[in-house]
Amino acid sequence: MLQDFRDNLKGTAVFIVVLISIPFALVGIDQIFQGGGSAQAELNVNGEDISKLEVDRALALHKQRLLGQYEGLDPALLDDELLRKPVQDRLVREKVISQRAVEGGMGVGKTVFAELLKNSPAFQVDGRFDRGTYDFILNQMGHTQKTYFAALSESMLVSQMSSGLAGTGMVTAEDLKLTAELIEQKRDYYYLTVPISELRKTVTIEEAQIAEYYQDNEQTFKTEEQVIIDYLELEVDDLLASVTVDETLIREQFDLELNAQIDLTRSRIEHILFANEDTFINGQRITEVQGKLAEGALFDDLARQYSDDMGSAEQGGDLGFVDLAAFPEAFTEAVMNLEVGQISAPLLTNSGTHLIRLTEQETPEPLVYEQEKERIHTQFARQSAEQLLPEKIDQLRELAYNAESLSEVGDDMDIELKTSEPFPRRGGSGVGAFPSVVNAAFEPDVLKEGHASDVIELSPTRIVIIKLREFLPIKMLTLDVVRDDIVEILTMEQASKLVEKKGSEMLAKVLDGSDIEALAKQEELPWQVSIDTKGFGGIVDGLIRDRAFSLPARSQLPLTTGFVSDTGDYIVLSLTKVASGELDKFNPEQISNLSSSIRANLAQREFKAYENSLLADAEIEGLY
């Protein structure tokens, strides 16, 4: 939390409480979620059902988000039974909050819902809401329009409740003062290091010690069960060479992109709006402006003087680069017929009469067929390969079923047979790093019966089929094989004892009043001093800094401690000064950001407590 506060002092908002996210992304949920037994209630919260369909949908979306968040994550790790409980918990929490919101008279109007859908990029084609896209996505998500409205409304209610509670947080001057003192606190400390690397050099390991350690720990020096597998791997990229793309399709796609590029032309325009309700007065003013333009007056000066568009008049009528699709059709046509610098004839729209001047136009560099041909070819080839993949997978599965060797299957399908490195049940490298492959390799059908596995999905576009090549049973490792390991173990054991002994001696001397710097020089040990050190960031050793800041701030100084670092070195640390941060040194922006962070953090905790109180009072059925 303190690091978050510090980041806010740089102008970055930290505590952004996002309790609900609306799943607009295409997730490809199977139609099995719709209808049938999935409509039955799985949970009941205060008499209101949450159906199995809702839980299944939320579970699928949760899995999809995890796969998107962690690239290369094996889908086999996302076990439904493990993930279902937290998904249920989240749905129940959302339900009790939305129920309380409804009890409090809150709601979501259909106009708000419609506006949200209209402006959602997920439902747009060419920048506009597309009903076909909307229906398709809802179908993929397992929603009807009614159920989607209900789910989205519930999410918005929870968000409103969260936002409402966040707005009630109170941050006192004392809160600001204490937080500033803490997060901007500075400390001075000295430390010396007793390095284990130097003491390792003094350790000698005798042959008798090695033999004794091996004899006493013989059972630890054995291999794990391991397997070596043959496997056939198939992915979309492997099929690219086997598909052909008609050049006519490439040319048609190029023409479509070329035409679409024309629509990307950006126009910057100025206008003068005449919006007087009296058309006669409007006509007089238009004639007057046109006369002045003919005499050489500047368009933008006249816009400042005459335009009734308060939003652009002060900017000389400048509307900037505009999306012409947002304007009335007649307005768009008028602009498109203008050359740069040209002024339109008076144009009547619902908002009044306009004089329009095209001031600038940006047109993308035209596409060149020879430069785009290869990209479009690859695009179509990949689409064809993706469509071909399921057919190839079925063919591979059929040929591999009861095959004596995957080599023959690979020859038939022109797929290279590969062999893995040995790997145990905890996994290995290469293909053996995938848990789904490891699990399949140690399944009885593969390990004991010698059958080929079923198709194993490594990613949405990559699969393998495996077959056991060799099973490597557990065996004892000889002393010659593990000698170096034993020497390392014994060396570290003895060096650690020497470090602990010498470090304790150094600590005792410092506690008795010796100066760390003088002692380190006397013992020829490395030492450091860190002055005005803050609790976060910087170029100091993080482990030592954290230990220095873990010491009580109100203790009598100097305060000395000793500890073994992660690298095995012994550190003697002496805290000599603690200086609290001062709110008076913060500028107004930093104070504002600090206050916002404290308020957001308080709101987050209060909302969680409020949510827990509602859960404690709720009647819930069906949870795991």
1-33 confidence digits (pLDDT tens):
444 444 444 433 322 222 223 333 323 333 333
Same domain, 28 and 123: yes
Same domain, 323 and 404: no
* Tokens linked to 25: 């992304």
pLDDT of residue 102: 85
Phi, psi of 120 (to 5 degrees): -80, 120
42-93 tens-digit pLDDT: 889 899 898 888 888 888 888 878 877 777 676 666 777 888 898 898 899 8
pLDDT of residue 125: 75
Same domain, 213 and 322: no
Which residues have C-beta within 8 Å of that of residue 115, sequence separation ≥ 6? none
Same domain, 38 and 152: yes
CA distance 431 to 62: 26
Domain CATH number, residue 353: 3.10.50.40
Which is it for strands 352-362 and 347-349: parallel, antiparallel or unpaired? Answer: antiparallel
CA distance 469 to 422: 10
Same domain, 463 and 497: no
Coil, helix or strand for 459? strand
pLDDT of residue 233: 94
- Residue 422 inside a domain? The answer is yes
- Residue 180 inside a domain? The answer is no
Tell me the mean pLDDT in the region 244-256.
Answer: 88
Give the residue, 618 or 164, on which the prediction is more confident.
618
Whether 602 and 169 have beta carbons less than 8 Å apart is answered as yes
Same domain, 69 and 137: yes
Q: How high does pLDDT run on average in the chain?
A: 84
Give the residue, 264 or 105, on which the prediction is more confident.
105
pLDDT of residue 10: 41
- Residue 388 inside a domain? The answer is yes
> Smallest Cα–Cα separation from 271: which of 334, 211, 186?
334
Tell me the mean pLDDT in the region 574-591.
Answer: 90
* Tokens linked to 110: 């259909």
Residue 390 amino acid letter = P
- Residue 619 inside a domain? The answer is no
Same domain, 47 and 128: yes
201-241 tens-digit pLDDT: 999 999 999 999 999 998 889 989 999 999 999 998 888 88
pLDDT of residue 264: 67
Give the residue, 266 or 36, on which the prediction is more confident.
266
Whether 353 and 282 have beta carbons less than 8 Å apart is answered as yes
- Residue 538 inside a domain? The answer is yes
Residue 350, Cβ neighbours under 10 Å: how many? 5
Which residues have C-beta within 8 Å of that of residue 132, sequence separation ≥ 6? none
- Residue 611 inside a domain? The answer is no
- Residue 314 inside a domain? The answer is yes
pLDDT of residue 152: 82
In the 8-state DSSP scheme, what is residue 403?
Answer: -
Which residues have C-beta within 8 Å of that of residue 375, sequence separation ≥ 6? none
Domain CATH number, residue 150: 1.10.4030
pLDDT of residue 504: 96
pTM for the full model?
0.53
Task: Look at residues 437, 472, 507 and tell me which one is the last residue of a structural domain.
Answer: 472
Number of domains in the chain: 4
36, pLDDT greater than 60: no
Task: Identify the domain containing residue 567 by its residue range.
Answer: 185-220+480-579
Same domain, 111 and 20: yes
Coil, helix or strand for 248? helix
Helices 588-617/145-166 angle, 10° precision: 120
For 137, what's the count of Cα atoms within 13 Å in the CB-facing half-sphere?
20
433, pLDDT greater than 60: yes
Whether 192 and 469 have beta carbons less than 8 Å apart is answered as no
Task: Look at residues 472, 488, 504 and tell me which one is the last residue of a structural domain.
Answer: 472
Task: Look at residues 472, 495, 521 and tell me which one is the last residue of a structural domain.
Answer: 472
Residue 262 confidence class, pLDDT cut points 50, 70, 90: low
For 473, what's the count of Cα atoms within 13 Å in the CB-facing half-sphere?
2
When mean pLDDT is compared across 273-277, 556-560, 600-604, the lowest value belongs to 600-604
pLDDT of residue 624: 59
- Residue 248 inside a domain? The answer is no
Give the residue, 134 or 484, on which the prediction is more confident.
484
pLDDT of residue 446: 94
Number of H helices, E strands in the chain: 22, 18
Which residues have C-beta within 8 Å of that of residue 168, sequence separation ≥ 6? 603
pLDDT of residue 344: 94
Tell me the mean pLDDT in the region 313-332.
Answer: 83
Same domain, 33 and 158: yes
459 Rama sector, left if φ>0, alpha if ψ -120 to 50, beta otherwise: beta
Same domain, 29 and 82: yes
In the 8-state DSSP scheme, what is residue 10?
Answer: T
Q: What is the torsion angle, in degrees rounded to the nearest 10, for the CA atoms of residue 116, residue 122, residue 128 and residue 129?
A: -60
Which is it for strands 226-235 and 417-419: parallel, antiparallel or unpaired? Answer: antiparallel
Which is it for strands 462-472 and 128-129: parallel, antiparallel or unpaired? Answer: unpaired
Give the residue, 323 or 528, on which the prediction is more confident.
528
Which residues have C-beta within 8 Å of that of residue 8, sequence separation ≥ 6? 14, 590, 593, 594, 596, 597
Same domain, 31 and 127: yes
Neighbour-count burial for 514-552, b at 16+ CB within 10 Å, e otherwise: bebeebbeeeebebbebeebbbbeeeebeebbebbbebe
Cα-Cα end-to-end distance for the chain: 32
Same domain, 403 and 437: yes
